[in-house]
Amino acid sequence: MPEFAAHASPSSAPVSSPRPQYPSHAIPDFELSSEHDHDGSETLPPTITSPAFTPPATPGTGTPALERDAKSIPVDPQFQEGPPPRLLETLPEVFCEARARIPPTIAKIETMFLHVYRNNLDNKEHLAIVFGPDIRSESLNAPRPGDTEHQRMIRGAYEGRLYPGRTTSKLSRVEQIQQESGVGRNPESHSKAPLVRIHSECYTGETVWSARCDCGEQLEEAARLMSLPQNMATGGVIIYLRQEGRGIGLGEKLKAYNLQDLGNDTVEANLLLRHPADARSYGLATAMLLDLGLGGERGIRLLTNNPDKIRAVEGPNREVFVKERVAMVPLAWQTGGKRGVQGEDVEKYLSTKIMAMGHMLSSR
């Protein structure tokens, strides 16, 4: 039986974690390294895969769209601060069950597709939100026993766009000629790596307007960046993993919120519930990216502040190459508090992510 992380929480007593000193003003820049923890602190428990079920989440609305691109930071594949994250020895098996065009409310674009994935590790429906026409699922488009053209169109294994009366999943001869000649195709479509965001489900931050975190804002910012004309040319993907509460589930997450109101930070709250500080796993994300054709040397630009996520997403054998990191700076920091999620709760949350979890966040 392959060795991968357990689905249950550790039975050992919680490990102590230093409590950061929260500033009374906006968090300044931090120089981050593996030595940022207080002396004497113990190593946090390793990550585990998420529970077998979490409720669905609907992306929220309300983050203003700003017509600006984000700054990319080159990633040195040889550089690794601290111990590497624990990775699955082999990637899980994934296959795309269905795909459909989604007309978005947040941007004036026509080519955004939602993909639903199944896998051999859990019973959840993990998602891939794909921007642009050129990123396609290999497992979805592969022939299946008894396939008909109608069945292929129903599951989303078609080229171009569906319309009433269409009878084939393939492009018409005219459309094929246009595609082969590059008509309507941006010449920069392969000049840079596509944007990718690995986003974990957050029902509270995306659906019930919670100001305890900036998860909903990050999801919308990722979609905004991928819908910019200069990024639509290369395409983009948001991998939406169903691992609520950093992998502990919604019920346990609400208990952690109560512990935070009693004076603990987000890391301490998880530990007091006998969960790891971060119980997420990214093997499924790596496998989904490979299925979407985003493996190999071309690389991706990863939207993240989490240094562990960079190495984890690349996979056990570096199946995916993270070429650049794009920082996810809170909107309130970018606008001097004029926009974005604000308040004491989210400032404490961000401070803990920086000081106790090593996230690379800056106000600039």
Least confident of 71-75, 150-154, 204-208, 224-228: 71-75
Q: Which helix (H) or strand (E) holds 203?
A: helix 203-206
Q: Examine residue 56 and state whether it is found in any structural domain, yes or no.
A: no
CA distance 198 to 222: 10
Please check whether residues 304 and 218 belong to one and the same domain. Answer: yes
Q: What is the pLDDT of residue 192?
A: 85
Please check whether residues 258 and 221 belong to one and the same domain. Answer: no
CA distance 115 to 98: 6
Q: Which helix (H) or strand (E) holds 109?
A: none
Number of domains in the chain: 2
Q: What is the pLDDT of residue 83?
A: 58
DSSP structural state of residue 16: P
Residues 6+ apart with CB under 8 A from 205: 60, 212, 213, 214, 215, 216, 217
Residue that wins the pLDDT comparison between 22 and 95: 95
Please check whether residues 340 and 255 belong to one and the same domain. Answer: no
pLDDT at 4 over 80: no
Q: Per-residue DSSP letters for 121-164?
A: S-S--EEEEEESSS---HHHHS--TT--HHHHHHHT--SS---T
pLDDT-based confidence at residue 65 (cuts at 50, 70, 90): very low
Contact call for residues 339 and 331 (beta carbons, < 8 A):
yes
Q: Examine residue 154 and state whether it is found in any structural domain, yes or no.
A: yes
CATH number at residue 123: 3.40.50.10990
244 in helix, strand or coil? helix
Strand partners, 118: 95
Q: What is the pLDDT of residue 55?
A: 41
Q: Per-residue DSSP letters for 39-106?
A: TTPPPPPPP-PPPS----------PPP-S-PPPEEE--TT---SSPPP--SSPPPEEEEEEEE---SS
Please check whether residues 82 and 195 belong to one and the same domain. Answer: yes
Please check whether residues 324 and 200 belong to one and the same domain. Answer: yes
Q: Examine residue 321 and state whether it is found in any structural domain, yes or no.
A: yes
pLDDT at 19 over 50: no
Please check whether residues 257 and 302 belong to one and the same domain. Answer: no
117 in helix, strand or coil? strand
Q: What is the pLDDT of residue 186?
A: 55
pLDDT at 301 over 50: yes
Please check whether residues 348 and 307 belong to one and the same domain. Answer: yes
Contact call for residues 306 and 200 (beta carbons, < 8 A):
no
Query: Which residues are catalytic, by number?
Result: 278, 280
Please check whether residues 220 and 83 belong to one and the same domain. Answer: yes
Global pTM reads: 0.77
Q: Examine residue 194 and state whether it is found in any structural domain, yes or no.
A: yes
Q: What is the pLDDT of residue 312?
A: 92
Least confident of 155-159, 170-174, 207-211, 321-325: 170-174
Contact call for residues 135 and 112 (beta carbons, < 8 A):
no
Q: What is the pLDDT of residue 82?
A: 56
By percentage, how much of the chain surpasses pLDDT 90?
51
Backbone angles phi, psi at 95, to 5 degrees: -150, 145
Please check whether residues 123 and 213 belong to one and the same domain. Answer: yes
CA 72 and chain centroid, separation: 17
Q: Examine residue 347 and state whether it is found in any structural domain, yes or no.
A: yes
Please check whether residues 289 and 275 belong to one and the same domain. Answer: no
* Averaged pLDDT, 339-351: 90
Please check whether residues 91 and 149 belong to one and the same domain. Answer: yes
Please check whether residues 315 and 327 belong to one and the same domain. Answer: yes
Which domain does 84 fall in, by range? 72-159+189-243+280-357
Q: Examine residue 36 and state whether it is found in any structural domain, yes or no.
A: no
Q: Examine residue 134 and state whether it is found in any structural domain, yes or no.
A: yes
Q: What is the pLDDT of residue 175?
A: 63
